[in-house]
Amino acid sequence: MAAVTSYWVVSLPVQASASSLWTRLREEISKHSFDTLVYRSNSFVEGVSHKIRRQIEELERTSGVEGGALRVDGVPIDSYLTRFVWDETKYPTMSPLQEIVDSIHVQVAKIEDDLKVRVAEYNNVRSQLNAINRKQGGSLAVRDLSNLAKPEDIITTEHLVTLLAIVPKYSQKDWLSSYEKLTNYVVPRSSKKLHEDNEYALYTVMLFGHVADNFKTSTREKGFQIREFEYSPEAQEGRNREMERLMEDQETLRGSLLQWCYTSYGEVFSSWMHFCAVRVFAESILRYGLPPLFLAAVLAPSIKSEKKARSILEGLCDSTHSSYWKSEDEGGMAGLGCDADAHPYVSFTINIV
């Protein structure tokens, strides 16, 4: 199972300067929660990124190749996240926040639509191949018999025909002792076994064409099955060519889809991080008011350090914010129908696989 790393995206109100608060944050975390890494730094966008990542995992698994760590703008995911820099060219900061969010949504929605089309095309070829493989790999009662019967096994003349009988594996003695008597004009000792699987055996039998229907009726009554079959070298060659074409198409589509997913994952992940940046900005304004004086940071605490890290973050907030967001028992906002995990600072979690 892939490992999941949880990152906290937080913002703290600035009293003096952002640089001094940043220094205090690093010092406190280093002193009291030493295994918590600190970095400066929409469910829809996140969902699309996870969808592409799962598709990459499936493609790598079915192709037997390991693509290595996913990258965004040429760097590993964790490096991009912990060293995030706003892309001013792509999302001008002079634009309204709603316009930036809409732009992100449109871009990611287009990528999701493209993913659906590409995956559907790939799965269509896979389904055709699976259908052929089922016919070739199923029991004799349903599988394609063209690879089992050779031209010399099927003798057809003006009066004689060769039929293929499917006989239950444990009824072969009964077949061999009875097939000549199932109707008149059956060629004696003409039945030959061509193949056997876990359930059935495939036999040929020769008889005169005008009694073929009577013979088929009698075999059904005895629990045997006659498979309709006409040997055609041209048809067999056509099936082989179709199989080869589908296998080539599958490999081509798999490779192109995988490369597209690598690229698109980076684009969607980048969009996701920009969305998170917008979110932390908007929530900080709502929480701390104007002008925007806050420090945004990313933390990666271990599970055992989470409680201590929360305590440190709360300690770095001024007393006004801390008392306002006290627990229910202490009579703060957390006890007035607010989020049970409410804190005196902005905080949300990003889970990266």
| Domains of the chain, each with CATH number or no CATH | 6-130+247-320+345-351 (1.20.1460.10), 151-230 (3.30.70.100)
**221 CB-side CA count, 13 A:** 10
Q: Which of 9-18, 92-101, 294-303, 330-339 has the lowest average pLDDT?
A: 330-339
Mean pLDDT confidence for 316-342: 51
Question: What angle (nearest 5°) sits at the alpha carbon of residue 112, between those of residues 110 and 118?
Answer: 105
**Average pLDDT of the residues of the chain:** 84
The letter for the amino acid at 199 is E
For residue 33, what pLDDT band results from cuts at 50, 70 and 90? low
What lies within 8 Å, CB to CB, of 251 at 6+ separation is: none
Which one is predicted more confidently, 327 or 127?
Answer: 127
205-259 pLDDT, tens digit each = 999 999 999 999 999 999 999 988 776 667 667 777 888 899 999 999 999 999 9
Cis bond before residue 291 (omega within 30° of 0): yes
CA–CA separation, 334 vs 339, rounded Å? 6
Mean pLDDT confidence for 264-285: 92
For residue 41, what pLDDT band results from cuts at 50, 70 and 90? very low
The letter for the amino acid at 223 is G
Which one is predicted more confidently, 149 or 176?
Answer: 176
